Amino acid sequence: MGNRRKVILYVGPFLSASFLLIWFPWGVILKSVYIAELHLLCSLFVYNSFFSFIKMAWCALFAESTKEHSRVAATKYSQMAILLSVNIIAITELISAGLTNFVAFQRICVAIFVLCWLCFCITGSLNDNLANINPSQLSLNEDITNKTHVFKISKQIIFQSEFLLLVLTAFLHNCRSMAHLNFASISAELLIPANVMGKGSWSMSSFFAFCTLVPQILVAEFIDDDKKRFSRRKLSNVIFRKAMSSVIYSLETILVKSSTSITPVLIVYFLNQSGYKVCFFLKKILIGYSLINDD
């Protein structure tokens, strides 16, 4: 994690490829449920691993911006990218006819893979304007590089009320986002009449797009506050920010990432308790995919 842009450049293509892996099942999934389960578990594991790695590199890179103007510009471009990216939901809903045309959906995924790969390459090829510090300039007694202080620093961060509130907010935010992204189709089918928002219509596509517009939670300012609160020494501000941003965002990722796994399980449990047969819904998807392959 020494060079954030190199991490994005080299790991980004693997993240894009892992996204493709999810939507291309192994063999005929109706003949072997175990193969389908293994494919799903492996795909999610690979995607979550690369996604966490890239997310931590991006967040640390954001926090290492020493000037307020750089952070504001990064936030602006990030929000603009989110506003543009949600349009793919409406496009996918229309082209795939409400996800009934799975082949068209797969082609859209390939186009997204190519676009993401290009964006990662452009980001990773940008020049690093941060000062390059010779490691020999750092003291072995510096608390950020001394291994005996790693657990002490982590403990100080974890037990701060601001950090706990931030992690709790991010956890709930991820749970809500996962519920929207994974079960919006089921909720819309149950709660919204077809004459109000038809499947594959512009109104349904716009509804999914608006549900995806959520604010980002930024923790860059927490790093500066942590430095002032515990009066951490600094021989180099750039080196300090790199180390602390990695520690804080690593802890935040470890504590929040579980929400992406817990939320689908809870949603399925509540749906089953309410009488909605999730297994029957999945069976309809598998049969539809099988009919497409037979054609």
Separation of first and last alpha carbons in the chain: 48
Tell me how far apart the alpha carbons of residues 291 and 242 are, in angstroms, rounded to a whole number: 52
Name the percent of the chain lying above pLDDT 70.
41
Q: What confidence tens digit (pLDDT) does each residue in 104-158 have?
A: 888 988 998 998 889 888 877 876 554 444 444 444 444 444 555 666 766 776 7
Q: What confidence tens digit (pLDDT) does each residue in 42-96 have?
A: 887 888 788 878 877 777 676 665 555 666 676 667 767 766 776 777 778 778 8
Tell me how far apart the alpha carbons of residues 14 and 37 are, in angstroms, rounded to a whole number: 22
Could you tell me the pLDDT band of residue 257, with boundaries at 50, 70 and 90?
low
List CB contacts of 110: < 8 A, sequence separation 6 or more: 20
Q: What confidence tens digit (pLDDT) does each residue in 175-211 have?
A: 766 666 666 666 666 677 777 776 666 676 666 666 6
Tell me how far apart the alpha carbons of residues 237 and 62 are, in angstroms, rounded to a whole number: 15
Tell me how far apart the alpha carbons of residues 116 and 171 are, in angstroms, rounded to a whole number: 26
**For position 133, what pLDDT does the model report?**
44
Residue 49 in tokens: 């691993």
Please report the sign of the dihedral spanned by the C-alpha atoms of residue 220, residue 222, residue 225, residue 231.
negative
Please check the confidence at residue 238 and state whether its pLDDT lies above 50: no
Residue 137 is given by DSSP the state: G
